[in-house]
Chains A and B, each alone.
Chain A
């Protein structure tokens, strides 16, 4: 895979079918290191399935998924891929509800994750600093000792993003981060993501057009499992096919 050299994520001809239904059909996409990409598309376009494939949850029927220019992700499972530096935020915020905010972040910290390393693990000063820093970023410092279950929906979204930060991934996949957020929270989230994207690559799936515009990044439009158009938001918005398939006239 020579073409994959120098890219962070390289999808080529990926297809997957569920009982004959092609959820992803010959999808190709390239993401450069440090790039932030927004992915839009109608329901059922295959956005979540694409993330499932990248993170190892679903194995594609054909095609390559190359990470960091050389690793074929289709040969690895979720745990390996996460350890390689791919973080994922789910559509529905998924945090460990019976742990405190602090414990959630501690679990997410990029440390050794083996059975015995965790069994004999001792929290260091560095860990505390890092967690405090993240708490600051996601504005949950006041609620650090509360159970994650007691957070509001928006706060859980933020906590999950914070956990991704603690994971220190090279690539962050963010699925609908502003669903259920107020306008001001949405703006804050956009700011946060732009901040994050300075140090790593980010792929954001989102329906909220205002939010996507706010991110101001290259946009990929998916429909029926393959790429319909790619380019700036204005560019794709003008695309006939996109208007027909997604935006509507």
Chain B
């Protein structure tokens, strides 16, 4: 169980290893001495290495303990080894650099026994706890916290006394408390320790405290029990927070898928069943951009999404423009026919993409800045989801500005409110229609760029979003951008809250049923316009 942590320590040490060795006696010489002498002398040797107080020696000591430390028979130099096929790779004991690969017969293992192992543990703990790098000290403290090894108590006390950095000190105090719970200290001390641990909170102390409730004296157990309850309560709150985050994340996906529809359906009243395919085209544009970058300009890969955004807008927007000029404009005022014709277009686009790119899922890569995760308190937030939330809000804000603050937005609203009046004031209504539709489609395209990061890019991508998108727009209130935002977020969060009870599929069904019922109650959505104009 310790292994991963040791590895962690090792990783954290890696940058240090590159530093020049400490001023005192060169640790490399001390390490090389391990190849001489009997097992009896080894204790002194290890103590000498530890006495350097230089944490560069930690990997070598760990390797010794794990039996990975060998010396070359020819020149008695010591190396850390790693299996390399049937041979052994020799690594520099300080830097970890691979020096050469030799047959296993050319080297000999440095022997080690259990008492030595204990000594090494202590020495490593001490070295890392005393390290100059605070992050090393923190991870050392965390390692001790996890193991709760009573033997580290002495070391810890020393380290705590010497520690200047308050954050590191806090970690060490926590580790000390964990250790104390494993000793046979008095009840008062243990209860104090429980309180200290509980204060820290979080999922990782929960197991520790739960263990205490079984093994300790009644008084301590009670204190631990209380602490567990307390922590579980906070954890529930964090869980809610996490669920809300997942909901917001789903909501942002819905928002992205629906926001273009909020323009074409919400503002223009055109039922575009090919909307999902506009999203799909955006995703495929991303795929093509990445393919070109991979093959020709691999260094640009991290910018691939930024490059894909304007292209996806152009591709989907262009398709939208053609669709409006070629089909939809003949069907204004006949919403049901528009629905059918655009459905036909969606079939053609799907099959077109299937013919060109094949029916299978396409791999669209995440750039570096979109991978990884952040931990905030009890929340885990993955970078790609975070970016999608930010991006969806950005697109929303941008669209809002275009609609409300630009001359084009003004013309657009004028045309949708009173086409005849707008046209007699010199607005070219057909072009406004065409560009509004292109705008909505283009937005769907850039939504596709974002969605390519989290869903499968296949010809069916659009279909999986179309019903959801319509639900969001209708639920939020047609013609109301804010409604779309709030609708998307509400549905996203509601879905995620239902999932634990109902399972993903049933949650989705329940949401659909809810919307169906909701539309009965408020046929015009959450934020409906009122008045005589609407009735007409």
Main SS class of interface, B: loop
In the bound complex, do residue B532 and residue A49 qualify as a contact, i.e. CB atoms below 8 Å apart? yes
- Counting contact residues on chain B (CB < 8 A from A), the size range is under 10
Interface residue B530 (Cβ < 8 Å from any Cβ of A): yes
Residues of B within 8 A of A57 (CB): 535
Q: In the complex the two chains form, what is the Cα distance from A52 to B531 in whole Å? A: 12
Q: Which A residue's beta carbon lies closest to that of B533?
A: A18
Residue A3 CB within 8 A of the other chain: no
Q: List the interface of chain B (C-beta within 8 A of A).
A: 529-532, 535
Q: How far is the CB of A244 from chain B (nearest CB, A)?
A: 26
Provide the residues of chain A in CB contact with B535, threshold 8 Å: 57-58
Whether B530 pairs with A23 at a CB distance below 8 angstroms is: no
Mask of A45-59 contacts with B, CB within 8 angstroms, 1/0? 000110010000110
Q: Is A19 an interface residue (CB 8 A)?
A: yes
For residue A21, which residues in chain B have a CB less than 8 angstroms away from its CB?
Answer: 531
- CB contacts (< 8 Å) of A48 on chain B: these are 532
B532 to chain A: closest residue by CB: A18
Q: Which of A18, A21, A23 has the most CB of B within 10 A?
A: A18
Residues of A in contact with B, size category: under 10
14 contacts between A and B (CB under 8 A): A18-B530, A18-B531, A18-B532, A19-B529, A19-B530, A19-B531, A21-B531, A23-B532, A48-B532, A49-B532, A52-B532, A57-B535, A58-B532, A58-B535
Q: Which residues of B contact A49 (CB under 8 A)?
A: 532
Near B by CB (< 8 A), chain A positions 133-181 give none
Nearest B residue to A57, CB-CB = B535
Residues of chain A within 8 A of B532, CB atoms compared: 18, 23, 48-49, 52, 58
Bound CA–CA A52/B534 (angstroms) = 14
Closest B residue to A49 by CB, please name it: B532
Bound CA span A177–B76, Å: 116
Task: Mark contacts of A174-214 with chain B using CB atoms, 8 A cut-off: 1 yes-contact digit, 0 otherwise.
Answer: 00000000000000000000000000000000000000000
> CA A172 – CA B445 in complex, angstroms?
55
A140–chain B nearest beta-carbon distance, Å: 28
By a CB distance below 8 angstroms, the chain A residues around B530 are 18-19
Q: Complex formed: what's the CA distance from A49 to B536 in Å?
A: 12
* A18→B531 CA distance, assembly (Å): 5
- How far, in whole Å, are A48 and B532 apart by their CA atoms in the complex? 10
| Most A CB within 10 A of own CB, among B531, B532, B535 | B532
* Bound form: Cα–Cα A23–B533 in Å: 12
Interchain CA distance A21-B532 in the complex, whole Å: 11
Interface residues of A in 59-98 (CB under 8 A from B): none
Expressed in whole angstroms, the Cα–Cα distance for A96 and B341 within the complex equals 27
CB distance from A217 to the nearest CB of B (A): 27
Which residues in A have their C-beta under 8 angstroms from that of B531? 18-19, 21
A61–B70 alpha-carbon span in the complex (Å):
92
Expressed in whole angstroms, the Cα–Cα distance for A49 and B532 within the complex equals: 8
Closest Cβ of chain B to A132, distance in Å, is: 36
